[in-house]
């Protein structure tokens, strides 16, 4: 059973792309968004695109120590000029149709999830 200190907050984000636009969105994110997020959030627990089921989706999971940790990291990232470039390029790309964000906590019997490595 996980202690309160071992619990984490999972930010599960699913983006739906317009049909056929997943590769373009992944490239845009890889070039502009991912390097910035690594500096603030660290490596994601998972980053994947759908092979079956709900096609044209990209899901990624970020690990935070708490809601306050998430809020702090996202606020600092939002001030980064490189993040603002990514947001502008994302709008220009027009690949995304929708976004769904779910904040989750692991079940008490789940294996421990380590905090991500931050890239500076």
Domain boundaries, the chain: 7-104
58-69 tens-digit pLDDT: 999 999 999 999
- Among the listed residues 42, 39, 41, the one whose alpha carbon sits nearest the alpha carbon of residue 120: 39
H-assigned helices in 22-120:
22-28, 34-40, 67-78, 81-93
Task: Check if CATH label 3.40.50.720 holds for domain 7-104.
Answer: no
pLDDT band at 88 (very low <50, low <70, confident <90, very high): very high
Task: Report the percent of the chain where pLDDT is more than 70.
Answer: 95
Residue 2 has pLDDT above 80, yes or no: no
Residue 63's pLDDT is 97
State pTM to two decimals: 0.89
Q: For the residues 32-37, what does the mean pLDDT come to?
A: 97
pLDDT band at 25 (very low <50, low <70, confident <90, very high): very high
Residue 40, classified by CB atoms within 10 Å of its CB into exposed (0-12), middle (13-18) or buried (19+), is buried
Residue 3 phi/psi, 5-degree rounding, is: -80, 165
- Among the listed residues 60, 54, 70, 67, the one whose alpha carbon sits nearest the alpha carbon of residue 19: 54
Distance CA(115)–CA(65), nearest Å, equals: 7
């Amino acid at each position: 059973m996980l202690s309160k200190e071992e619990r984490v907050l999972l930010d599960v984000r699913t983006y739906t792309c317009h049909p056929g636009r997943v590769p373009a969105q992944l490239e845009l994110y890889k070039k502009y968004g991912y390097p910035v997020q690594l500096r603030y959030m660290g490596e994601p627990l998972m980053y994947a695109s759908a092979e079956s089921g709900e096609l044209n989706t990209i899901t990624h999971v970020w690990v935070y120590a708490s809601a306050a940790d998430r809020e702090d990291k996202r606020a600092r990232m939002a001030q980064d000029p490189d993040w603002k470039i990514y947001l502008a390029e994302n709008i220009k790309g027009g690949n995304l149709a929708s976004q769904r964000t779910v904040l989750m906590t692991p079940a008490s019997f789940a294996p421990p999830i380590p905090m991500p490595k931050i890239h500076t």
